[in-house]
Amino acid sequence: MPEAQLVSTDDVARTIESFTRLDQRGDKRAMNKLATRLQKEQPFLLQYAAALRNSHGDAVGEAAVFYTTLVWAMFDRGREATLPRLTQNNLDQAERVIDDAHGADPSIAEKPVHERVIPAMVTRQPNVYAKVQELIAEDVKEAAMTDATAALIWKPIQVAVEAFDAALDGRRPGERQGTIVHEAPKVGRNDLCPCGSGKKYKKCHGMA
C-alpha cells in the first residue's frame, strides 16, 4: 500500500495520546470541537455507528460511536487534506465486503472477538487493526465491555477501516470535502453525543 494511505504507528500512537488527554482533562471545549468536526465531515459514519443504539441499547451505541470515531481520527491524523466523506453507499459496500469475507471462512466466528479478522484486510491497515484489537481485548478483559457488546461493535469497526481504506486508495472513493451533502443525518438532541460520553447530546455537547 502506498505510504500516503497507510496509517502509521506514529499516527495511531498520537491519536491514542490525544484521546487519553481529552479524557483525563475532561476538556469539554476540545471534545465539542471534535464532535462538531465528526458531524460535519462524516455524518453518515456517525449515523451508521449510532444506529446500534436503537437495536441494542445505549451502551452498545456508545461503544460503536467511540470506536468508529477513534478509527476516523487515526486515518485523519497527520493528513494535510481532509479525509473523503464516506457516503451511505461507501458504508454499504464496505459492509458487504466484510460480510462476504467473514462468510467465506465460518471458523472466524469461533475465535475471540478481537481475533475475528481477515488477514488480507489486516495487511492493508496493520497498525489500525493492531491497536483496535488490543483495545477491544483490554476492554473485555477488564470488564469495561462485555464480550457480547464487543461482538456487536466489531463489525462497524471493520466497516469503518475498510471504507476509509477504500476511499483513500480509490477502490471506492468517497465524497470530496466541501461538496454539498443532501439529506445528511444530524445529531438529534436525544441521540447519543458523538464524543462517546454515553450521554444524550442535549445533556452533553448540545448544551454548549
The reply to whether 169 falls in a domain is yes
pLDDT tens per residue across span 65-121: 999 999 999 999 978 888 999 999 999 999 999 999 999 999 999 999 999 999 999
pLDDT tens per residue across span 32-66: 888 888 899 999 999 999 999 999 999 999 999 99
Does residue 181 register a pLDDT over 50?
no
Domain count, the chain: 1
The reply to whether 4 falls in a domain is no
The reply to whether 1 falls in a domain is no
Mean pLDDT, residues 160-173 taken together? 94
- Rounded Cα distance between 53 and 85, Å, is 23
Give the pLDDT band of residue 184 (cuts 50, 70, 90): very low
Give the pLDDT band of residue 2 (cuts 50, 70, 90): low
For residue 136, give its domain range: 9-207
**Cell numbers 495520546 label which residue?**
17
- Rounded Cα distance between 12 and 5, Å, is 13
pTM, whole model, 2 decimals? 0.83
Q: What is the pLDDT of residue 55?
A: 92
- Hey, how many other C-beta atoms are within 10 angstroms of the C-beta on 41? 18
The reply to whether 2 falls in a domain is no
The reply to whether 75 falls in a domain is yes
The reply to whether 58 falls in a domain is yes
The reply to whether 3 falls in a domain is no
The reply to whether 109 falls in a domain is yes
